[in-house]
Chain A
Amino acid sequence: MLEVRGLHKVYDSHGRRVEAIGELTFTVEDGRFACVVGPSGCGKTTLLRCIAGLLPPTGGEVWVEGNQVTGPPPGLAVVFQEYGRSLFPWLRVRDNVELPLRAAGLSRARRRELATEALAAVGLADAYRAYPWQLSGGMQQRVAIARAVAYQPRVLLMDEPFAAVDAQTRADLEDLIRTVWRRLGVTLLFVTHDIDEAVYLGERVIVLSAAPTRIKEDLAIDLPVERDQLVTRADPRFTELRAHIYAQIQKFKHTAPQEELS
């Protein structure tokens, strides 16, 4: 379970004070899939880094699996947007997947088993000997996902993981994430600026306001569990939900933040 309570973040550097996150409180229950959308620059990445324990919040608390986050918590994995920079270029694909398991002290046989399984799950069973830079962008992001899967996290955070891949690859990866989530039963928080993607993927979409960020709306996505790129996206309910969120985001794009607060 993932709990964010009264999270507040101010960047204070060189005398310039920027309030990135105003106040955020939400809970993602065990095994649920929540998406976070918001206009660009609304502190989505800041939120994710605070949850991951990579960034200390200015105020408020984050709890992962019943423990307060003070540093990167065990049992939590992150998939970053910059796949090219989050894989180790000097390690082959399988070693990339195995490294966190190695640091966790797993036996060689167990590591091999988990890595092989995870690579097969993302459709890269044959690429284990390649270096990441020998693969396409979409395949590299698959490796990053395989690494997260092999780590067997209870909470998985994804920071705009598909922002830098082409549309076709993106659709494939979206379906892959749905499959992985259902198979692992992991608690998933997926950050994106793409409203369609958020609606298509999540069971719930948390809509953020512009900075200083607050929750604008917390919306349940009542689409069938089985999602399909063609059928789901043509569903009238899908269109309705995405139009609703789009209107929300457009609305506070044009309003000054001060008015937003009142």
Chain B
Amino acid sequence: MRVLGIVAGRIGLLFGLPAILVAIWWLASADSEHFLFRPLPDILVAFRETWLGPRLVEDLLPSLSRLAQGYAASLVLGIGAGVLIGSSRTLRALVEPVLELLRAIPPPALIPLIGLFAGIGDTRRIVIIIAGCVWPILLNTVEGVRAVDEVLADTCRSYRVRGLSRLRHLVLRSASPQIMTGARQALAIGIILMVISELQRTDRGIGYTVEQFQTSFRYPEMWSGVLLLGLLGVALSLLFRLADREILGWYHGLRATQKESR
């Protein structure tokens, strides 16, 4: 019984506020005659008709696939370059000012520029996502690699743990909490850029579809697209949390132990 109570409590905490907000939305919009703010049931009907069909494959999947490709490429580039830069003091001194400058440029401002050399196809949209996602991963990886514990580094040296073994068991693992922080920020940026990259010169994708509904005055459908993006964000953040628990289980345990002993 107590366990059931705890489970019920947690579910209440998780879904309580969203349920209340949906209820308020439902009640407040129930008699709405306003052309823009349609009653929630209308939007839900539009949601079902719009998204639970061919559009799921034709518009949502291409968007997700571009996000996945851009995000994966950002992880490879960001972690790869971050390890290199973080491991070399000279390299760091050389590139850090440039990195700060590049990071400060908002990625949407790069869209026209990227269009010039990456064409107008999928590549362009993926490059836009990379242009935004790579920075938090790169900069956090640099910080994480720099902060490798000296005693652990000495331990590796004296036991002759070198090269790839050192990279895998010391450098990457020890930087993994920072890398995950960067990856989390990058995921949020990636979702935004996924939508923005589809607003121009596209004929497929969830961002494009929402834009189309708006210009053709199909507001319930437009709202349903916004709702879908919200749900997508929640789903991706839950997935990320699962990955985080898998990769950083040791870190959360260590932190909890340190907190207790204090």
Measured CB to CB, the residues of A under 8 A from B are 52-54, 71-72, 74, 76-78, 80, 82, 85-86, 88-91, 99-100, 102-104, 131, 133-134, 147, 151
Contact = CB atoms under 8 A, between A and B. Distances in A.
Given A133-B254, A134-B257, A72 B155 contact: no
Contacts of B169: 88, 91, 99
Given A88-B173, A90-B250, A80 B151 contact: yes
A53 to B, nearest CB: 7
Interface string B64-90: 000000000000000000000000000
Nearest to B250: A90
Contact of B155 (A71, A74, A80): A80
B119 interface: no
Q: How large is the interface on B (under 10, 10 to 19, 20 to 34, 35 or more residues)?
A: 20 to 34
11 contacts: A53-B158, A72-B160, A74-B160, A80-B155, A85-B149, A90-B251, A99-B169, A103-B160, A133-B253, A134-B257, A151-B159
A100 B254 contact: no
B160 A85 contact: no
A103 B159 CA distance: 8
A212 to B, nearest CB: 24
A91 B149 CA distance: 15
A102 B165 contact: yes
Contacts of A72: 157-160
A189 B203 CA distance: 73
Given A133-B257, A134-B257, A89 B158 contact: no
Interface of B: 149-152, 154-155, 157-162, 165-166, 169-170, 173-174, 176, 250-251, 253-254, 257-258
Contacts, number: 69
Given A72-B157, A100-B160, 11 more contacts: A77-B158, A77-B159, A80-B154, A86-B152, A89-B250, A90-B176, A99-B159, A100-B159, A103-B165, A147-B159, A151-B159
A71 B170 CA distance: 19
Contact of A88 (B150, B160, B170, B258): B170
B161 A103 contact: yes
A200 B254 CA distance: 35
Contact of A103 (B150, B162, B173, B257): B162
A99 B165 CA distance: 9
A54 B151 CA distance: 11
B155 A89 contact: no
Given A80-B151, A86-B152, A103-B165, A131 B170 contact: no
A149 to B, nearest CB: 13
Given A74-B160, A103-B162, A86 B251 contact: no
Contacts of B173: 88, 90
A245 to B, nearest CB: 29
Contacts of A131: 250, 253-254
